[in-house]
Structure 1
Amino acid sequence: MLFKWGVLCSSLVFMVGWDVSRHPEWDMMFTAGLTAREIADRCKQNIATVHLHLKNREKYDPEFFAKHTAALEARGPHRITTKWRKRLNEAQEYYATHGRLPRRTGNPEEHSLAEWVAEQRRLVERNELPQAKIVLLYPLPGWNINAQTQEREIRWRNRLSLLVDFVNTEHRMPRYRTYATEEEHLLGVWLHNQHQRRSESRLELWKLKALNEAVLDWRSRN
């Protein structure tokens, strides 16, 4: 029900005494698991004001903070926090300025930001990143692409292209034992590795499909 908090923020109720809450909407957010910082950001209030209010509410509701703690834990470790949004904004600003994602090889600030982006990628690969965060990350180009994996895939596709050229020219598969040139030897070894991976069920489906479509007789060991 977090989408309704914006409405609650605009319906402030002011009371005379602390025994009746001056900001019941803040109380609802807090006991629903939102942090003081999140409440302050959502309602555009000074965080010190929010903290003071919450501290005073505990005097009239001894279970106030216990309710908050239970709800906060229920939100899970990957909830969208102000700190997380700040890092996302920094990543987006970096991309807008440099035209690329931050790299680990950069200065300490860039390295830290690159690690944050990499962590989001690891979480989504493990299916542990909430959909809400994925949606917010979507406008950041390439955030979910592992650069090393992408580079390996490019090399693999380049090798496949060389295989196609060889077959079209020589009208046979490259050999890794009785080869005529070093180039054929390299292609023969690569093709042999694809055979091995396929026989051991370790060849990715997209690679198998690409080989089948590019070289119909690639499974032949001639």
Structure 2
Amino acid sequence: MTVQEIAEFTGRARSTVHRHLQVRESRGEDLRVVHDAAREALGPDWPPTRWQHRYKEVQDFYKANRRLPSVNSEKTEYDLAIWLRSQRTLRRRGALPSIRITLMDMIPDWDASPPSDATSRRTALDDHWRDRLRDLVAFVAESGQMPRYKKYGDELERVLGVWLHTQHQARAEGKLLSWRLEALDATLSGWHSRQ
């Protein structure tokens, strides 16, 4: 390990590690020879300690969340996602050493390209729309009526009433996606106002 790697691994200041090694060498110990031999045995492609720590963080994240880190999240997860992106880039360029590829391959789907921001946003919007439709169906089944957005009984009815009104407007303007129109017609045949 280099002085920097030892410092990162132990959590000590680099100067402290450096001074400790100097003291050991001044006592006549052949620490430098042992160190150099160990470094040569690892080879030039062996990942540095900093890389190993980041790799372990990604591994732990995957085990805890059953997914890879996302750039659309808080700082710690974002940093892991950026690190993963850089590993993917290095691999595609042929610059990621084979030992690192072997380690990375232990993380499922690490090299799969994540969906683009536009794709993930569209998926999130579609999922949200489907959730609203399920809520609407449940509301109608429970109350026996369509939700109102003006003279509503509670907040859920207001939210669903506004959502349904928005679907009416989109349909009237020809802006309601065909799969959404089909889904509404299939689940609530009398959902739209007559025009």
TM-score by length of 2: 0.44
